[in-house]
């Protein structure tokens, strides 16, 4: 009995010393196997050294104690015998709990969250989310570069980015081809809209907040086919094609300081029937209104240049009013304005470009100022309704094709200063008669060809040059009188003039071209001057004419080349005799000047 009590006492003492040996030790960290670390395990076996290894720490209060070897062996199982009274030990406190700590705690419990370790002074507010992308310029400003949420239909652009930068521009192609967008609100801080920023936003119906925009780059709203209106009171710089293809655009407010309307600015704006152009405007760019729906336009006095294609294919355009005189009206500038009825260019206009009014099929009257010094080819060709033309008083040349196919043009007054008529100048026109000025010595190729109503032509210039096919196909032409004398007649010059009977070309004709009078079936007589040159490759000029055609020449005798060229000719006939034979009038001769000093000489 005593031995049992003693053994129990020793066991309790050993447990107490083990608990007190490391009062502040941390729980051992689990190695993942759940086993108690070796250095903290209690060995209750017999120690041959006489020292119990309760703890690896020999410096603490639980120093090793000597054991009396004379004592009987202890029960190392720690279980009391049947004869021992039960021993009750108080449960150890939290600081003395000998049980190993739970070493399988999850990692998140041992790792503190970042915000718990950050001092209050370093804490920042989270950046609020935005449906837009931004690009900072590094100077406190930024641009909007795109839309995160592609399903937005009515985006409202903020005036500052989430980082606090002021939004001053919309980047190139930022909203391009976002067909779901119905409206967009732009803050007043935005001054620039980049290239193609809203390209092909086909559902865009409203743009709010453009009052502060100064610059719109190329194609900014190009092909926004549902956009009906826009106000740009401060926009002084517009890029090319900025509203091109906005087919629903009907109302536009422009800045009073705008100076240049750029290339293609309002091209294909079919609903744009009118637009007030600012007085500050100096230039209307290439194709600025091409294929638009304009019905009338007033060109401000400050405009100096109307560029190529500016109003081309404006098929509803009826009137053009010039408040001032543009110096240049460019090529094709009003081509195919099929409703335009009248054109009156103001005094001060210097240049009218090539084909400027081509295919203006309703154009009835044209007035050109005396200041006009340069007129391009074909500027009124195919104006089928043109009836009245006023030409500059000092005009020296009719350009090529200027009035070609003007089928309603019955007559025209040519200025006295005119010296030449260009190729196809009046081809297929409706002219009924032509009186060429005294100094007009050159008639270009096909100048009056296929003028089916032309009945007579007269000219007083000496040694006039009649170009190839100049009057070919003029089936109503009966009289051609060049009283000053023609110097040369080109190939096919009067070919097909089936009504021509007695052309008067004078005695000074030097050359006559291939088939010049071929098919002139009504021709009765023709005079061949002796100085006429016949080229070696010559073909008959009178092929297809009547067999009764009378050919006369003041040449003394026949030569082989003349026989080959003309066939039967009556030689030794003077021009005067020829005129008497045929009833043609001789050219008027100047009256002799009176003799000076004394009476005129007496006859006989």
Q: What is the pLDDT of residues 143-181, one digit of tens each?
A: 999 999 889 999 999 999 999 999 999 999 999 999 999
Please give the DSSP secondary-structure letter assigned to residue 458.
Answer: E
Measured distance CA(74)–CA(13) in Å, rounded: 13
pLDDT for 8: 65
Query: Is 471 within the bounds of a domain?
Result: yes
Query: Is 378 within the bounds of a domain?
Result: no
pLDDT for 524: 93
Confidence class of residue 587 from pLDDT cuts 50, 70 and 90? low
Query: Within 10 Å of residue 171's Cβ, how many Cβ atoms?
Result: 19
**Between 600 and 245, residue with greater pLDDT:** 245
Measured distance CA(48)–CA(88) in Å, rounded: 30
469: left (phi over 0), alpha (psi -120 to 50) or beta: left
What's the average model confidence in pLDDT over 35-52? 39
- Tell me phi and psi for residue 11, to 5 degrees: -65, -45
* Per-residue pLDDT tens digits for 381-398: 999 999 999 999 999 999
Query: Within 10 Å of residue 64's Cβ, how many Cβ atoms?
Result: 15
Q: How far is CA 92 from CA 30, 257, 479, in A?
A: 22, 94, 144
CB 512 within 8 A of CB 490: no
Please give the DSSP secondary-structure letter assigned to residue 307.
Answer: -
* Per-residue pLDDT tens digits for 424-456: 999 999 999 999 999 999 999 999 999 999 999
| Counts for the chain of helices (H) and strands (E), in that order | 5, 32
Q: Give the contacts of 82 (CB within 8 A, at least 6 positions apart).
A: none
Query: Is 208 within the bounds of a domain?
Result: no
pLDDT for 506: 87
Measured distance CA(420)–CA(30) in Å, rounded: 114
Mark which of 88, 109, 130 sits at the end of a domain: 109
pLDDT for 12: 65
* Per-residue pLDDT tens digits for 54-84: 333 444 433 444 444 444 444 444 444 444 4
* Per-residue pLDDT tens digits for 286-295: 999 999 999 9
What's the average model confidence in pLDDT over 581-585? 82
Query: Is 201 within the bounds of a domain?
Result: no
pLDDT for 591: 46
Q: What percent of the chain has pLDDT over 90?
A: 66
What's the average model confidence in pLDDT over 287-315? 98
pLDDT for 144: 97
pLDDT for 77: 45
Confidence check: pLDDT of 23 > 70: no
pLDDT for 192: 98
* Per-residue pLDDT tens digits for 183-195: 999 999 999 999 9
Confidence class of residue 588 from pLDDT cuts 50, 70 and 90? low
Please give the DSSP secondary-structure letter assigned to residue 108.
Answer: H
* Per-residue pLDDT tens digits for 530-547: 988 877 666 789 999 998
Among 83-87, 498-502, 576-580, the range scoring the smallest mean pLDDT is 83-87
**Between 370 and 53, residue with greater pLDDT:** 370
Mark which of 109, 124, 139 sits at the end of a domain: 109
Q: Residue 425's closest CA among 436, 69, 316?
A: 436
Confidence check: pLDDT of 349 > 80: yes
Query: Is 42 within the bounds of a domain?
Result: yes
Query: Is 102 within the bounds of a domain?
Result: yes
Beta pairing, strands 305-306 & 328-329? parallel
Work out the angle at residue 479's Cα, subtended by the Cα atoms of residues 476 and 480, and round it to the nearest 5 degrees: 115
Confidence check: pLDDT of 205 > 80: yes
Mark which of 77, 109, 141 sits at the end of a domain: 109
Confidence check: pLDDT of 29 > 70: no
Confidence check: pLDDT of 110 > 60: no
CATH of residue 493's domain is 3.80.10.10
Confidence class of residue 561 from pLDDT cuts 50, 70 and 90? confident
Confidence class of residue 563 from pLDDT cuts 50, 70 and 90? confident
Q: How many domains does the chain have?
A: 2
Confidence check: pLDDT of 96 > 80: no
Confidence class of residue 502 from pLDDT cuts 50, 70 and 90? confident
Confidence class of residue 3 from pLDDT cuts 50, 70 and 90? low
Give the residue numbers spanning the domain of 25: 1-109
Query: Is 303 within the bounds of a domain?
Result: no
Measured distance CA(454)–CA(471) in Å, rounded: 9
Q: What is the mean pLDDT of the chain?
A: 83
Beta pairing, strands 141-147 & 132-136? antiparallel
Confidence class of residue 586 from pLDDT cuts 50, 70 and 90? confident
Sheet (strand 479-482) strand order:
433-436, 456-459, 479-482
Query: Is 562 within the bounds of a domain?
Result: no
Confidence check: pLDDT of 494 > 50: yes
CB 464 within 8 A of CB 482: yes
Q: Strands, E, within 186-276: which ranges?
A: 192-193, 206-208, 215-216, 229-231, 237-238, 251-253, 260-261
Confidence check: pLDDT of 234 > 70: yes
pLDDT for 47: 43
């Amino acid at each position: 009995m005593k031995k049992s009590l003693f053994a129990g006492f020793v066991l309790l003492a050993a447990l107490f010393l083990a608990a007190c040996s490391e009062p502040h030790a941390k729980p051992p960290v689990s190695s993942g196997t759940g086993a108690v670390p070796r250095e903290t395990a209690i060995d209750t076996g017999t120690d041959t050294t006489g020292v119990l290894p309760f703890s690896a720490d020999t410096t603490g209060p639980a120093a090793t104690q000597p054991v009396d070897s004379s004592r009987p062996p202890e029960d190392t199982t720690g279980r009391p015998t049947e004869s021992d009274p039960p021993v009750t030990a108080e449960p150890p406190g939290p600081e003395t709990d000998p049980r190993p700590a739970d070493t399988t705690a999850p990692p998140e419990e041992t790792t503190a969250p970042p915000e718990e370790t950050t001092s209050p002074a370093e804490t920042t507010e989270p950046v609020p989310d935005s449906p837009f992308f931004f690009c900072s310029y590094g100077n406190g400003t930024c641009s909007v570069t795109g839309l995160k949420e592609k399903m937005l239909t009515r985006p409202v652009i903020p005036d500052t980015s989430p980082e606090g930068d002021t939004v001053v521009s919309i980047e190139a192609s930022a909203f391009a081809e976002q067909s779901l967008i119905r409206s967009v609100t732009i803050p007043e801080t935005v001054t620039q809209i980049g290239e193609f920023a809203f390209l092909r936003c086909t559902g865009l119906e409203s743009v709010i907040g453009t009052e502060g925009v100064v610059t719109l780059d190329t194609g900014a709203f190009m092909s926004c086919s549902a956009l009906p209106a826009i106000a740009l009171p401060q926009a002084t710089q517009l890029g090319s094609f900025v509203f091109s293809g906005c087919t629903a655009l009907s109302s536009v407010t422009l800045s009073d300081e705008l100076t240049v309307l750029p290339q293609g600015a309002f091209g294909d704006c079919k609903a744009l029937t009118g637009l007030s152009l600012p007085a500050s405007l100096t230039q209307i760019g290439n194709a600025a209104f091409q294929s638009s729906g304009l019905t009338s336009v007033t060109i401000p006095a400050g405009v100096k240049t109307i560029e190529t294609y500016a109003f081309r294919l404006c098929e509803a355009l009826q009137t053009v009013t010039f408040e001032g005189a543009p110096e240049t009206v460019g090529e094709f500038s009003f081509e195919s304005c099929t409703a335009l009825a009248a054109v009156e260019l103001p005094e001060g206009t210097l240049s009218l470009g090539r084909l400027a009014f081509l295919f203006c099929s309703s154009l009835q009257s044209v007035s050109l100022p005396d200041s006009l010094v340069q007129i391009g080819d074909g500027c009124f060709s195919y104006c089928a309704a043109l009836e009245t033309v006023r030409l500059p008083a000092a005009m020296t040349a009719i350009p090529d094709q200027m009035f070609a196919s003007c089928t309603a043009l019955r007559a025209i007054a040519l200025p006295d200063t005119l010296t030449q008529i260009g190729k196809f100048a009046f081809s297929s026109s409706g002219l009924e008669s032509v009186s060429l000025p005294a100094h007009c010595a050159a008639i270009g190729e096909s100048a009056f060809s296929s003028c089916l109503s032309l009945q007579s032509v007269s000219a007083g210039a000496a040694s006039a040059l009649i170009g190839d096919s100049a009057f070919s196909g003029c089936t109503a032409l009966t009289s051609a009188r060049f009283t000053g004398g023609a110097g040369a007649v080109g190939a096919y010059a009067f070919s097909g003039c089936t009504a021509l009977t007695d052309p008067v070309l004078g005695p000074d004709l030097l050359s006559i071209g291939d088939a010049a009078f071929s098919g002139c079936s009504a021709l009765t007589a023709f005079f061949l001057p002796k100085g006429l040159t016949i080229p070696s490759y010559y073909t008959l000029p009178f092929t297809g004419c009547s067999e009764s055609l009378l050919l006369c020449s003041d040449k003394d005798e026949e030569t082989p080349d003349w026989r080959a060229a003309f066939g039967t000719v009556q030689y030794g006939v003077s021009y005067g005799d020829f005129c008497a034979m045929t009833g043609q009038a001789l050219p008027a001769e100047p009256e002799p000047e009176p003799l000076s000093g004394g009476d005129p000489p007496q006859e006989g």
